[in-house]
Amino acid sequence: MSLWDIVNQFRAADFCLRAGNFAVFEARFRDWKSGTVEQWAQLCIEFAGQVIHAAKQCHEIGLTNAWEEIDRINSGAGLHPNEPAAQAMAASQIRSCLVAELGKRKFLYVSPDRTDCVDSDALFGEKVRDAFPSAAFDIRESGNCMAAECHTAAVFHLMRAVEWGLRTLATDLGIRRLRCHNKKTGKVKHTPLSWSVWDGIISDIKNRIAKRISKAQRGPKKQVYQEFYNPAVDNIERFKDAYRNHVMHTRRDYLPGEASLIFEQVRYFMRRLANRLSEC
């Protein structure tokens, strides 16, 4: 089970409310003076329902010790079903058990301004999600890292997302593998994009862009090529020199503001690519 599975499955508000309910039941049992048999039966039914829900919730989120302890306490209270003091003690013990289990664990607080980043499948927008499904994992994880304030990790995933954009741009220009010439042997080797270095891919992209633009007649079509392809490859080259090389080779750690700025830059870049390109 991943960290985010635990975070998503654990509903803190519900759990705290449950613990508070046991304090209410404890007070109701301790204050029980007199009442009808029906009223007592209704109170016990409500209490039993809270116990069942608490045990189920503990089981679902992996609080095994609490689950077993609740079962033990409830079984003991069942031996004295008509004694308010026994039921009050059970409610108190269950509440203490829940609080103790929470105290043994650490929980991640996500700043309100970053809650939208958690496990978002369309963090860069639906168009980017649909155009670059291969980048979905890294885009989502970059958001999770931003939410968890793991800023260097966020930049790492952002650069991986950019690589999917780089490969798609290369494929759009007809580049599916790089041709490398071995100076010693004279042999020519072809390397798939997924195994090629950024410098080689960028170099081939620049050459293809130059050819495509030079062949286009002066006019709107040529202008569109210039406005789309030139900024795209320039952005990729800046990502490589400014961020990618340093984060991949452990030369740099990133502060919150820096990671946020890079996040916005990459989001803008991927959205711009998605307006024209798609890996599908």
pLDDT digits (tens, 9 = 90+) for 67-123: 888 888 888 888 788 899 999 999 999 999 888 888 887 777 888 899 899 889 999
Calculate what percentage of the chain has a pLDDT beyond 70.
Answer: 96
Structural tokens at position 244: 């990618």
Query: 57 and 143 share a domain?
Result: no
Instruction: Give the per-residue pLDDT at 267.
Output: 98
| Domain range enclosing 17 | 3-103
Q: Say if residue 132 is in the same domain as residue 210.
A: yes
Query: What was the pLDDT predicted at 62?
Result: 78
pLDDT of residue 9: 56
Residue 248: is its pLDDT beyond 60? yes
Q: What is the pLDDT of residues 52-75, one digit of tens each?
A: 888 888 887 778 888 888 888 888
Q: Are residues 31 and 135 in the same domain?
A: no
Last residue of a domain, one of 103, 133, 166: 103
Whether 132 and 201 map to the same domain: the answer is yes
The DSSP letter of residue 114 is G
17 has pLDDT over 70? yes
**Same domain as 132, residue 91:** no
Q: Which residue has the tokens 């080779």?
A: 249
SS3 45: helix
Predicted pLDDT of residue 205: 96
Show which of 79, 103, 127 is a domain's final residue: 103
191 pLDDT above the threshold of 60 = yes
The answer on 149 and 200 residing in a single domain is: yes
Q: Who has greater pLDDT, 33 or 136? A: 136
pLDDT on residue 182: 72
CA angle 56, 60, 65 (to 5 degrees): 75
**Is 279 a domain residue?**
no
What's the rounded mean pLDDT across residues 40-46? 92
Judge if 55 and 143 occupy the same domain.
Answer: no
Percent of the chain with pLDDT over 90: 66
Rounded Cα gap, residues 55 and 150, in angstroms: 34
Q: Is the per-residue pLDDT at 241 higher than 90?
A: yes
Residue 222 has pLDDT above 80, yes or no: yes
Q: Which of 178, 150, 175, 169 is nearest to 239 (CA)?
A: 169
Same domain flag for 91 and 144 = no
172 found inside a domain: yes
Quick check: is 207 in a domain?
yes
Residues 117 and 49 occupy one common structural domain? no
Residue with the bigger pLDDT between 160 and 59: it is 160
Residues with Cβ < 8 Å from 211, sequence gap 6 or more?
none
> DSSP readout, 3-39?
HHHHHHH--HHHHHHHHHHHHHHHHHHHT-----HHH
Cβ proximity of 155 and 248 under 8 Å: no
Instruction: Let me know if 114 is exposed, middle or buried by CB neighbors in 10 A (0-12, 13-18, 19+).
Output: middle
**Same domain membership, residue 188 and residue 59:** no
What is the residue-averaged pLDDT of the chain? 90
Rounded CA-CA distance 70/76 in Å is 10
User: Residues 81, 118: one domain?
Assistant: no
Please indicate, yes or no, if residue 184 is contained in any of the structural domains.
yes
pLDDT at residue 161 tops 80: yes
Does residue 280 sit within a domain?
Answer: no
* pLDDT for res 150: 96
**What integer pLDDT is reported at residue 11 of this predicted model?**
67
Q: Is residue 238 part of a domain?
A: yes
Among candidate residues 62, 85, 103, the one where a domain is terminated: 103
Considering the domain boundaries, does residue 63 fall inside one?
A: yes
Q: Does residue 140 sit within a domain?
A: yes
Confidence of residue 10 (pLDDT cuts 50, 70, 90): low
Task: Please count the structural domains in the chain.
Answer: 2
Reported as a pLDDT band with limits 50, 70 and 90, residue 176 is very high
Are 12 and 63 members of one domain?
yes
What is the structure's pLDDT at 3? 52
- Rounded Cα distance between 144 and 155, Å, is 12
